[in-house]
Amino acid sequence: MQFDIRRFDIYRKVPKDLTQPTLTGACISISSILFILYLFLSELSLFLTHEVISELTVEDPVRHTEKIPVFINITLPQLKCEYLGIDIQDDMGRHEVGFQDDTQKIEVNEGKGCRMESHFVINKVPGNFHVSTHSSRTQPDNPDMTHLIHKVRFGMDLQEGKEVKGSFNPLEDVDRSAGQALATHNYIVKIVPSVYEDKRGNVGYPYQYTYSYREVMQYGHGGRVVPAIWFRYELSPITVRYIEKNKPFYTFLTTVCAIVGGTFTVAGILDSCIFTAAEIFKKAELGKLS
Ligand SMILES: *[C@@H]1O[C@H](CO)[C@@H](O)[C@H](O)[C@H]1NC(C)=O
């Protein structure tokens, strides 16, 4: 006897004239195809977007000696540019008064106010920088430190469009221009180092931060203390690592197979149930049920 490989066929065909189309069958078929299409398109759009996973580690992502670049963009609507400067101090003994490099002062409010844009670097130790009139030779009568912050950023600028939930510029649009004129403003800033690895292997080092704020009227022995806007910072030992990942193609294939197969199976069960029920109903109507 000759061996017939067709015996391995698990998809045996029923001759066409032994099958019959039904209306419910057609309805179920069309619905399941629409359903498959919908699931397939949702799954495809999910596959085409990459995901960003994040993890926490206790490490320093860059060398300890590395410094953190800072960018600050702040408007003081009631203080002339000529009086303003930035002072930087830290626990490593740094004390710079009236930092001016890479700083732009733009007159606003018809010369009565000033916007400061400044880039500088800080060491990775606790410290502070403050915007004040300390470095000015002549002091204004009433240094009004009310201000409006546009940006305080640590580390690189994480480009727009990256789907990262984080706290990279929480001080944006903080408006203290309605505060007391002679008050000192304190921002206590906790800096969190972050690493962002994109799909192409580029690595960036942005820093996130949180802050708390306090406004105080300071008095010294000889009367009022010259007010300032203080940013006192501290680094967190925890690093947040963001990694962009593409979803693997095989999981997409698996999902598509599951969608197609699963839908047809469920639809088939549904169809045969309806068909059987209809047959029983017909028989019952004819009184042939025994
Ligand atoms: C600083 O903020 C002002 C106000 O939002 C903006 O017009 C200006 O372009 C900013 N400067 C930089 C360098 O981003």
Distance 113 CA to ligand 1 centre (A): 15
> Distance between alpha carbon 72 and the CA centroid of its chain, in Å?
21
238-290: pLDDT as tens digits: 999 989 888 889 999 999 999 999 999 999 999 999 989 988 988 888 876 55
Task: For tokens 């029983």, name the residue.
Answer: 280
Q: Is 73 in the pocket of ligand 1 (CB under 6 A)?
A: yes
pLDDT at 221: 65
CA distance 123 to 246: 36
* Residue type at position 16: K
Distance 151 CA to ligand 1 centre (A): 8
Q: Is the dihedral of CA 151, 153, 159, 163 positive or negative?
A: negative
pLDDT at 130: 94
Reading the block at residue 213, the tokens are: 């704020």
Q: Which of 71, 73, 120, 149 to mutate to test the pocket of ligand 1 (most atoms within 8 A of CB)?
A: 73
CB 181 within 8 A of CB 141: no
Reading the block at residue 285, the tokens are: 């109507």
Q: Does residue 162 carry a pLDDT above 80? A: no
Distance 279 CA to ligand 1 centre (A): 76
104-156: pLDDT as tens digits: 999 998 989 999 999 999 999 999 999 999 888 888 888 889 999 999 999 88
> Distance between alpha carbon 239 and the CA centroid of its chain, in Å?
15
- Name beta bridge partners: 279: none
48-61: pLDDT as tens digits: 888 888 899 898 77
Note if the pTM is more than 0.75.
no
Q: Does residue 29 carry a pLDDT above 60? A: yes
pLDDT at 225: 72
Average pLDDT, rounded, for the chain: 88
pLDDT at 56: 92
Tell me the average pLDDT across 219-248: 85
Tell me the average pLDDT across 197-203: 85
pLDDT at 220: 65
Q: Which of 70, 103, 108, 117 to mutate to test the pocket of ligand 1 (most atoms within 8 A of CB)?
A: 117
SS (H, E, C) 147-175: CEEEEEEEECCCCCCCCCCCCCCCCCCEE
- Using CA positions, which residue lies closest to atom 10 of ligand 1? 73
Q: How far, in Å, are 130, 133, 185, 194, 225 from residue 222 at the CA level?
A: 22, 18, 20, 44, 8
Q: Does residue 215 carry a pLDDT above 80? A: yes
